[in-house]
Chains A and B, each alone.
Chain A
Amino acid sequence: MTAMFASNLAIPDRLLATDLNVAAGEMVALVGPNGGGKTSLLRAIARVEQATGQVSIDGENIAALSEARRARLLAFLPASRDVAWPIPARDVIALGLGARNDQRIDELVELFELTGLAERRVDRLSTGERTRVLLARALASSPRLLLLDEPLSNLEPYWVLRLIEILRASADLGGMVLVALHDLSRLEAFDRALLIANGSVVRDAFPATLMASPQFEEIFRIRAKHGNWTLRR
């Protein structure tokens, strides 16, 4: 049951022409070395200006859609957690909704345990706290597809585990989750892993299969041994 089709995605100098399908309910991790193209693939699906190619979700070509409709289909959390203006956390979450909906914002504040921070200026929160606020913004419209760039970085262990739980709950409701991941220790929480290097998808497999593959060892220059990573010499 494929719910997202992307074809010919490319960003000049960053991402070679790539096709990708994701099924409803699937949690997909993008892994690979720095500069390999994980972020570029997410950005291409999110339709940044340099990106070419087509993305359709539930049969709708997103290029043709209004802001409100797009917000129901996808949300993007960029790697940068900067917010340029001193906007209160609660208002940042509200930017994820087209129309005012206080009840939904209250739900998200509670879900991400932001009650004490909701009225604080988002630029004065710690990076981890701000990440939770921006994740709440991304989830606000309950989009079909979540594109998250390094959502686990800057989070304390509790929030790493809790976020994976929240994402799994969203996938169980039929949502799709695409996550660029640096921390390979959480890879097995995902249904599928894409190994991305030199601007293209090198391998698409189950996480355990991927980690045992020779390509994985070759590209990452590490080896999994008794649950630990060792350098491959």
Chain B
Amino acid sequence: MRKLIILFILGLAAAHLLLPFAPLAEARTSDPELMQLLLVELRLPRTLLVVGYGATLGISGAALQAIFANPLASPDISGASSGAALGAVLGGYWLGLTQPMALAACGATGALAAMALLIMLAGRRADTATLLLAGLAISLAAGAATSLALALAPSPFAFYDAFDWLMGSVVDRSLPQALAALIPAALACLMLLRRARALDLVALGEDVAASLGHRPRRLGLEIILLSAIAVGACVAVAGAIGFVGLVAPVLARRLTRGHPGQAMVPAALIGAILLTLADLAVRAIALDRPIPIGVVTALFGTPLFLHLIVTMRRGVAS
């Protein structure tokens, strides 16, 4: 089953890399080097980003849901994504940073600040309503601060420049940019995956996990730090993409009989599939200019989110 899913993702990634095929074939007939350029410089970063960012959202969403013991905790709902966007805007337009790695670090810092604020406002074992309200407040505040930072930015074109990126976009990113997002994200995700067993045990209560030698409080801080690094780096490069980090873990837990920690691996696979499909949809809808991928995920994600809220209200948590 797992092999099949991985094969499916590879196929999907290959399709993402090669479609539409016509320009590639055309380039090949005129100049083979041009085709290589097209593939490696233009298309490969985009494919890497959608697969990697999707997987990152899946893993960090699953880890956050596990440690908050709440199926609505996720990078976007918790305000981490908006915080990362603010961090990257401040770094890029106010500190004048251009190095992709430096911007990724700003994104991670912003995400971390938002999560710290969330813990201060709501606490780590907050009920759903408190978590949603605190996350919403942080998202709104960070969004407003981002707009303000752009409006007052030294560069008069900041707002226009940043529009696509803010809505989440993987178009026209360079390979160094993609790697600046994905290398820290991959390292943080690997460290999150090592905590799967501890997260499963925390489902039985923090004291049970502690009795077996885990340290739930430290675990909580580690999860928050690692997911902020992973998501923050991706947001700095490709913008805030919503709903994937919320929906992928919910679907993944149906494959792991409800185990929240074990759900991280399938959540990564599902997240990668969802974001790749979303970007294929962006390409398939041929408009004058590409719609931001974040708009597509929001379009499909909102109904699922509403479904989740309604089922939770009926007392059927998933």
Contacts and interface: CB of A to CB of B under 8 A. Distances in A.
B258 A134 contact: no
Interface stretch (B79-87, B110-118, B201-209, B271-279): B201-209
A149 B167 CA distance: 51
A174 interface: no
Name which of B69, B216, B258, B259 has the most chain A CB atoms within 10 A of its CB: B258
B203 A87 contact: yes
A30 to B, nearest CB: 16
A220 B318 CA distance: 44
A80 B69 CA distance: 15
A197 to B, nearest CB: 22
Interface in A59-77: 62, 65-67, 70-71, 74-76
Name which of A62, A75, A85, A137 has the most chain B CB atoms within 10 A of its CB: A85
Contacts of B212: 67, 70-71
Interface residues of A, number: 31
B317 interface: yes
A36 interface: no
Given A85-B260, A86-B258, A95 B201 contact: yes
B57 to A, nearest CB: 20
Contacts of B202: 84
Contacts of B210: 46-49
A74 B69 CA distance: 25
Contacts of B213: 47, 62, 65-67, 70
A43 B258 contact: no
B207 A95 contact: no
A84 B124 CA distance: 14
A204 interface: no
Interface residues of B, number: 26
B283 interface: no
Contacts of A67: 197, 212-214
Given A86-B258, A87-B259, A78 B208 contact: yes
A84 B213 CA distance: 20
A43 B69 CA distance: 21
Nearest to A123: B317
B211 A74 contact: yes
Contacts of B258: 85-88, 91, 121
A92 interface: yes
Interface string B256-295: 0111100000000000000000000000000000000000
B200 interface: yes
B207 A46 contact: yes
Contacts, number: 71
B307 interface: no
B46 interface: no
B43 interface: no
B211 A87 contact: no
A75 to B, nearest CB: 7
A180 interface: no
Interface in B162-212: 197, 200-208, 210-212
Given A86-B317, A88-B258, A123-B317, A134 B211 contact: no
Contact of B207 (A78, A87, A91): A78
A85 B207 contact: no
B211 A85 contact: no
Contacts of A84: 69, 202-203, 260
Given A78-B207, A85-B259, A49 B215 contact: yes
A174 B142 CA distance: 60
Contacts of A9: none
Interface string A140-171: 00000001000000000000000000000000
Interface of B: 69, 197, 200-208, 210-217, 253, 257-260, 317-318
Closest 8 CB pairs of A and B: A46-B211, A84-B69, A76-B211, A87-B258, A86-B258, A78-B207, A48-B210, A85-B258
